Amino acid sequence: MRVALLVSCLVDGLRPSVGAAALKLLRAAGCTVVVPRAQTCCGQPAWNSGDRATARTLALRVLDQFAGVDAVVVPSGSCAGMVHQLPEVLGASHPRRAEAEALAARCYEITTFLVEQRDYHPGPLGQGQTLTYHDSCAGLRELGVKTAPRILLERAGYILVEMAQAETCCGFGGTFCVKYPEISVAMADEKLASAGQAGASLVVGGDVGCLLHLAGRSERSVAPLAFRHVLELLVPEREQPRALGQGTP
Amino acid sequence: MSFRVDSQDFIARSSDALEDAPLQSALGKLRMGLSLRRREAVAALPEFEALRDEAAALRDYTLATLDQQLEAFEAQVRARGGEVHWAPDAEAARRIILELCQRYGAKKVLKGKSMVTEELELNEHLEAQGIRCVETDLGEYIVQLRRERPSHIVAPAIHLRKEDVAESFAEHHGDAGGRDRSTAEALMAEARAELRAHFLSADVGITGANFAIAETGSTVIVTNEGNGDLTQSLPKVHIAVTGIEKVVPTLEDASTLLRVLARSATGQEASVYTTFSTGPRRPEDPDGPEAYHVVLVDNGRSAMLGTEFEAMLRCIRCGACLNHCPVYGQVGGHAYGSVYPGPMGAVLTPQLAGLDQTVHLPTASTFCGACAAVCPVKIPLPTLLRQWRQRAHEAELGGTKARWLLALWGFFAARPRLYHAGLRLGTRVLAGLAGPRGSFRRLVGGQAWTAKRNFPAPEGGSFIASLSQETFSPTAEDRSAR
């Protein structure tokens, strides 16, 4: 199966190890992986800010770069959700609308792809480590990503404890987190309290944006938690970057 | 515009709300309570999801045939001896209601809970003309005593704790006999005793209507306190005020909507009282008003028909989107500066008051989608909020700094070589600056992030730049980009 990796701009720039893990896992799951070099951003910041023209320009670039593969796989529910909205970005009468629909139909969030399309079983890695999972909103509510990351983590030997507010928004929200920082941080505090009450010191999620926001806030608290993208936990420890939330500026 | 909003200071109001400890304690209870109750009610009704589809389709059908439904409703009300009044805007609605009150020589008006009359600021208007208005819903009564506006469309005083209510009652009811105000029950009993005298002395009762049924000419209200029933049956005159979109074709249709309404609003299978009003009292009726009027208010609603915002007119005002909105849950209703707060209010308010005054409302959302996931009539609220953002962008409303940064980002994102070179350099510099500390406490130009959060440093370098040639896909644009 020929798969293109849409790495997402946050992973590309801030957490490249997650991209490396994605590449490795897709290959281990029997895929031939290509990474279109000219990919930049799916256009979500523009689309959600009401800038339809810029969103359209970037949408057409995504169509160009991700043509001709069996599947497009994304280590982010948010960006995969955006690809699913590309037909709407182009509009009903756009000449490339059908292309956008075809792309959306073969675009997957990576944990869903690994479980549902490849039935992937990671090796034993977790050694009984306890963690809690934060469901990022776009993945959860636009794409139904709920069980796949948990299945992968459990197959790898991690122990999941659920927090009461796993499905509540963490307050990141893209540009929301800097347009309304006080509300954003108040939402993070509620999420962090819920994670803390679950009794896990490691919070895992499928979107780097949420994790950076939560980790950055957690570092200002008396007892910071650790944060990781789910893919980081599916590769051997020596390939894992330092966990987020452990900074000491 | 005749719709008052104070939405321009959303940021200042939300800051105040976040610092307001009593408010936060009240909101904490809301966040836990109502969404949990809804979840339990939905779990107990296996066909709930199918009912949502049915309810949404029913509302769409009604909106597609709105003119016919409204005319049928009017004919049925008339046939049963009632009167229907059409109010194109808030001013007309206020005038019509004032004239009705004057026609019946009303000195005191009872009010059932009605968001449309809040939208019209009816109480202020009638009081200015010397007509006393008494809110009879407990929450509305409390809010009226405190000269506040409701902070929630279903639970108007949800922002208050019982201690706040006790304080207001002490101020307005006096403290004769050292009344016990330590429990919610005691406060409720006190309000009931105060209201009883008003129920027996009012001339006109004004209620809203959850639905107006075209088939029978009935208006329907749902309440948990029974105050609405007394309001519309004790005085000589009943005036039901509602939006034109609240009409439904048949009694059966109303029953479909009632099944999703109470479960979505409060997690109840049905509200304690569901009351149908059909015309004035007939000779054989033991009680009821002598005159029955319905005021159908447009006030910007018909302008939404046939636009991208038409789906908003499906709304049955259950408040589920407020109860599940994490932003509403943090700042409460008053921060929005509109009688319609939360996700439904953020879509509706710009329509009623103009986008230039209200541009924060559609912007202050993370698009988490919790609202759309619970909406009983499946309004795509985030999509509609995004439509408002598009209009705001086109009209160049909102922050210029954000627009500028977005344009810069768009410029680089469309130029991959420049983008990747810049990204590789920028992330390496940041990683180097952070060193083993791993994150930043402050960043030049990044105050909005770093005021209350550290910024985790990038690992350094970019993923794309780190890859070997053979991993790349040789697409046409890829070749041209090298």
Per-residue HEC secondary structure of chain A comes to CEEEECCCHHHHHHCHHHHHHHHHHHHHCCCEEEECCCCCCCCHHHHHCCCHHHHHHHHHHHHHHCCCCCEEEECCHHHHHHHHCHHHHHCCCCCCHHHHHHHHHCEEEHHHHHHHHCCCCCCCCCCCCEEEEECCHHHHHHHCCCHHHHHHHHHCCCEECCCCCCCCCCCCCCCHHHHCHHHHHHHHHHHHHHHHHHCCCEEEECCHHHHHHHHHHHCCCCCCCEEEEHHHHHCCHHHCCCCECCCCC
CA B210 to chain CA centroid, nearest Å: 14
Cβ within 8 Å, pair B453-A17 = no
pLDDT given at position B332: 97
SS3 state at B277: strand
Cβ within 8 Å, pair B326-A19 = no
CA B459 to chain CA centroid, nearest Å: 43
Share of chain B above pLDDT 90, in %: 88
- Quote the Cα angle for B124-B125-B131, to 5°: 90
Q: Is the pLDDT of residue A71 over 80?
A: yes
Strands A2-5 and A202-205: unpaired
Domains, in order of start, for chain A: 2-117 (3.40.50), 130-239 (3.40.50)
Closest-CA distance, B65 to chain A, in angstroms, reads 25
* All residues at 6 or more sequence positions from B70 whose CB lies less than 8 Å from its CB, including other chains: B214, B244, B247, B296
Q: Is the pLDDT of residue B476 over 60?
A: no
DSSP state of B436: G
Cβ within 8 Å, pair B463-A11 = yes
Contact indicator for B137, B156 with CB cutoff of 8 Å: yes
Q: What is the mean pLDDT of residues B284-298?
A: 96
Closest-CA distance, B76 to chain A, in angstroms, reads 42
pLDDT given at position B177: 62
- Which CA distances in Å does A93 have to A89, A96, A98, B54, B337? 11, 9, 10, 29, 38
Closest-CA distance, A123 to chain B, in angstroms, reads 24
Task: Identify all chain A residues contacting B373, using CB atoms and an 8 Å cutoff.
Answer: 141
Cβ within 8 Å, pair A35-B367 = no
Q: End-to-end CA distance of chain A, in Å?
A: 44
Q: Cβ-count burial of B466 within 10 angstroms (0-12 exposed, 13-18 middle, 19+ buried)?
A: middle
CB of B129 less than 8 A from some CB of A: no
- Domain ranges for chain B, please list them: 161-199, 401-481
Strands B132-135 and B108-111: parallel
Average pLDDT of every residue of chain B: 93
Task: Identify all chain A residues contacting B368, using CB atoms and an 8 Å cutoff.
Answer: 137, 141, 169, 173
- Which CA distances in Å does A210 have to A206, A207, B181, B348? 8, 6, 45, 29
Q: Given pLDDT bands bounded at 50, 70 and 90, which one contains residue B430?
A: very high
**DSSP annotation string for B195-255:** HHHHHHH-SEEEE--SEEETTTTEEEEEESSSHHHHHHHSSSEEEEEEEGGGEES-HHHHH
Task: Identify all chain B residues contacting A49, using CB atoms and an 8 Å cutoff.
Answer: 389, 393, 402, 406
Task: Identify all chain B residues contacting A137, using CB atoms and an 8 Å cutoff.
Answer: 366-370
The residue behind tokens 């989608």 is: B369
Cβ within 8 Å, pair A43-B413 = yes
Distance CA B457, CA B157 (A): 44
Q: Is the pLDDT of residue B478 over 90?
A: no
Task: Identify all chain A residues contacting B413, using CB atoms and an 8 Å cutoff.
Answer: 9, 40-41, 43, 58, 61
Q: What is the mean pLDDT of residues B222-228?
A: 92
SS3 state at B110: strand
pLDDT given at position B401: 84
Distance CA B22, CA A153 (A): 41
Of B209, B114, B98, the residue nearest B156 (C-alpha): B114
Instruction: Pick the most confident of A218-232, B2-16, B461-475.
Output: A218-232
Q: Is the pLDDT of residue B183 over 90?
A: yes
Q: Is the pLDDT of residue B470 over 60?
A: no
Distance CA B116, CA B210 (A): 10
Distance CA B116, CA B98 (A): 15
Q: Nearest by CB to A215, from B364, B366, B456: name it.
A: B456
Closest-CA distance, B367 to chain A, in angstroms, reads 7
Per-residue pLDDT of A35-49, as tens digits, reads 999 999 999 999 999
**DSSP annotation string for B67-90:** HHHHHHHHHHHHHTT-EEEEESSH
pLDDT given at position B33: 85
Distance CA B362, CA B384 (A): 9
Q: Is the pLDDT of residue A199 over 70?
A: yes
Question: What does the block give as tokens for B89?
Answer: 């805007």
Of A104, A115, A57, the residue nearest A81 (C-alpha): A104
Q: What is the mean pLDDT of residues A51-60?
A: 96
Of A82, A136, A144, A137, the residue nearest A116 (C-alpha): A144
Of B87, B102, B91, the residue nearest B204 (C-alpha): B102
Q: Which alpha helices (H) appear in B298-415, and where do they start and end? A: 320-324, 326-331, 342-353, 355-358, 360-363, 370-374, 381-394, 400-413
Q: Is the pLDDT of residue B383 over 70?
A: yes
Give the largest Cα separation in chain B, rounded.
Answer: 91
Q: Is the pLDDT of residue B479 over 50?
A: no
Q: Is the pLDDT of residue B442 over 70?
A: yes
Cβ within 8 Å, pair B14-A182 = yes
**DSSP annotation string for B335-347:** GGTSSS-HHHHHH
SS3 state at B41: helix
Contact indicator for B236, B187 with CB cutoff of 8 Å: no
Per-residue pLDDT of B73-117, as tens digits, reads 999 999 999 999 999 999 999 999 999 999 999 999 999 999 999
Average pLDDT of every residue of chain A: 96
Cβ within 8 Å, pair A169-B464 = no
Distance CA B133, CA B126 (A): 7
Q: Given pLDDT bands bounded at 50, 70 and 90, which one contains residue B403?
A: confident
Give the largest Cα separation in chain A, rounded.
Answer: 55
Q: Given pLDDT bands bounded at 50, 70 and 90, which one contains residue B471?
A: low
Q: What is the ipTM of this complex?
A: 0.96
pLDDT given at position A208: 98
Closest-CA distance, A168 to chain B, in angstroms, reads 7
Of B227, B192, B190, B191, the residue nearest B208 (C-alpha): B227
* All residues at 6 or more sequence positions from B91 whose CB lies less than 8 Å from its CB, including other chains: B2
Burial A23-54 (b: 16+ CB within 10 A, else e): bbbbebbebebbbbbbbbbbbbbbbbbbbbeb
Task: Identify all chain B residues contacting A51, using CB atoms and an 8 Å cutoff.
Answer: 390, 393, 403, 406, 410
Work out the number of other CB atoms within 10 angstroms of the CB of residue B214: 26
SS3 state at B360: helix
**B132: enclosing H helix or E strand:** strand B132-135
CB of B22 less than 8 A from some CB of A: no
Contact indicator for B247, B220 with CB cutoff of 8 Å: no
Q: Given pLDDT bands bounded at 50, 70 and 90, which one contains residue B245?
A: very high
Distance CA A106, CA A84 (A): 9
Cβ within 8 Å, pair B366-A171 = yes
Share of chain B above pLDDT 70, in %: 96
